[in-house]
Structure 1
Amino acid sequence: MTEDEIAHELSRRKFYKAEQEAGFVESHEYVTPQQQDPAYRLAFRDIDFLLREELRPVRFQLELLKPEMLLDEAGIGSTLVMYGSARIPSPEEADAVRAAATTPDKQKVAERLIAKARYYEEARRLAQIASRSAVVEDGKRHFVICSGGGPSIMEAANRGAADEGAESIGLNITLRHEHTPNAYVTPHLSFQFHYFALRKMHFLLRARAVAAFPGGFGTFDELFELLTLVQTGKMQPIPILLFGGDFWRRVVNFAALAEEGVISPGDLDLFHIVETAEEAWDHITAFYGLDVA
């Protein structure tokens, strides 16, 4: 500011103070031009500043810390993570999916999705069994159900926990076709992520078992990252359960990968194919030597 501008500002403040003392203006603090400028905002309250490109590492840290701290405060020691499609209908939705298919090609796809509705029920059932078991060790809850927070298989997971009156976690992600958390996620365990990388990290930080149901690119992304982490020793082995042998053998030729030499034959033992919730839970409890119902 020039000297004239400074003098004008000082005079303006003096006049404002006199008006205030005379009762002509409300007795709240005069906001100066300096205080009005964004540069004066506290950094942690300045959203425009926090969203700058240079602040991405800080945003990474925030997305890492917030769920970690809240889950720890909630006494959650480990999770049973459930991956799967956002498109498979629940049995109750089957008729609506069939009615919405207006062409022969769409009808074929609709019937394939409807045939997979049984996996919705298996996901719900597995969540019920794990939640009913209520494993607690060292004051921490274990095998707490954790899903992506969205519809379909994710909804089934959270719904199964809710059936048993248990809390469950939802890790939502902001997308162009953004969906809200399904109605069964425990509100104080419902998180939203911007970065896929941080979301996937939180899926696995507490994972004590992972169940992967039929799904698309997102399910494949999450599953193969998990397999890679265990294969390379970056993560300790855990039960990795693939629901639906017909689906997985059709869409991924795991045996061919071993035959081609791009994975080791032993890598085929990193996961276990199952058909029912009971079979999956039996595998989990046997893996850890747990004596639970």
Structure 2
Amino acid sequence: MTEKDLKDRRFYHADEETKFAERAPDRTPQTEHPAYKLAFRDTDFLLREELRPVRFQLELLKPEMLLDEARVGSTMVMYGSARIPSPDQAQAKIDAAKDGTDFEKKVAARLAEKARYYEEAYKLARLVSEKSIIEDGKRQFVVCSGGGPSIMEAANKGASDAGSESIGLNIILPHEQAPNSYVTPYLSLNFHYFALRKMHFLLRARAVAIFPGGFGTFDEFFELLTLVQTGKMKPIPILLFGKDFWTRIIDFDALAEEGTISKSDLELFNWCETAEDAWSCIADFYELEA
């Protein structure tokens, strides 16, 4: 490159400027003071209360840019409990509670009964991944989970066993947690803000499967329903697995009878029990080959 090259940059890249700063020969009270650090290299500065809007923007931009670079066109999002055991672990869950209280034994038995949903989550992720749908040069229905254990692990494992990459959107929590080993490393993303994480779950979502879960699953499920109900988000297939579980926990019909939702709102989601049920709903919605 010469100074006469019209394509040459007239300003240095930030990484080059950083190297200039690191090569500075003088170490003085001025250069050693935190105030002298380049703002984008000053972690203490970036973590200040006043910088929250900047951190919001960073958590919006980084995943968006990485997913664009990975040619992810759309996602198949899968929500569900972090506590449901795999079929292989179901009996161990019951055995571990055998000396516990009656309540603990009951909980263990109920969780073990739900192990079939781990299997269905795995099957759905594998089935969708094996379709290998490409449009406009981008991969469609890329499996995306919360990156954790149980149902989330089943989703990423299903995609991995199909030879496909998958996304894990983890969140920093006070207790120790880490991505499951089936998430594609360069698509393993971590968040500080729940709001930004939930936004990224839905920005590319073209179908969402919801399995039995707790507060987190409820939060994600009802926010999705609200976005579609209010017209803030265009309808997509919402696949609700485990009718016995959900109708025991929530009386959807009663909500309509009380007038707090419309009866037609109960048509926003589809009941499913198997991976094949779910894919059939997706294929019908998008007029794809079943």
1:147 to 139, 145, 148: 145
State the TM-score, normalized to the length of structure 2: 0.90
State the match for 1:55 in structure 2.
51
Distance 1:67 1:213 in 2: 25
- Alignment correspondent of 1:179: 177
Length-normalised TM-score, structure 1 = 0.89
Q: What is the SS of the residue equivalent to 2:207?
A: strand
Larger Rg: 1
Q: How far, CA to CA, are the matches of 1:263 and 1:256 in structure 2? A: 9
Structure 1 unpaired stretches of 5+:
1-27
3-state DSSP of counterpart to 1:284: helix
How far apart are 1:96 and its partner, in Å? 2.4
Rounded to whole Å, the distance in 2 between the matches of 1:262 and 1:219 is 21
Residue 217 of structure 1 is matched in structure 2 by: 215
SS at match of 1:165: coil
Shift of 1:98: 1.6
2:87 is matched with: 91
Q: CA deviation at 1:61?
A: 0.3
Shift of residue 99, structure 1, vs aligned partner: 2.4
SS in 1 for 2:71: coil
Hey, what's the Cα distance between the residues in 1 that align with 2:223 and 2:161?
31
| Counterpart for residue 255 of structure 1 | 253
Runs of 4+ with deviation above 4 angstroms:
none
Q: Does 1:286 align with 2:281?
A: no
SS in 1 for 2:153: helix
Match of 1:245 in 2: 243
Residue 35 of structure 2, aligned match among 28, 34, 39: 39
Deviation at 1:30, TM superposition (A): 3.0
Supply the distance in 2 between the matched residues of 1:190 and 1:92 (Cα, whole angstroms): 26
Q: Which residue of 1 aligns with 2:202?
A: 204
3-state DSSP of counterpart to 1:91: coil
Residue by residue over 1:94-122, the C-alpha shift from the partner in whole angstroms, topping out at 9 and shown as x without a partner, is: 23212221222111100000000000000
Give how far 1:29 is off.
Answer: 2.3
Cα distance per residue 1:199-258 (max 9 Å; x no partner): 000000000000000000000000000000000000000000100110111111111111
Q: Distance in 2 between matches of 1:93 and 1:60?
A: 39
Shift of 1:178: 2.9
3-state secondary structure, aligned to 2:105 = helix
SS at 2:149 equivalent: coil
Counterparts of residues 44-193 of structure 1 (less than 5 Å): 44-101=40-97, 102-193=100-191
C-alpha deviations, 1:141-181, integer Å up to 9, x for none?
A: 00000000000000000000011110000000001123100
Separation in 2 of the partners of 1:178 and 1:216? 19
- State the partner residue of 1:16: none
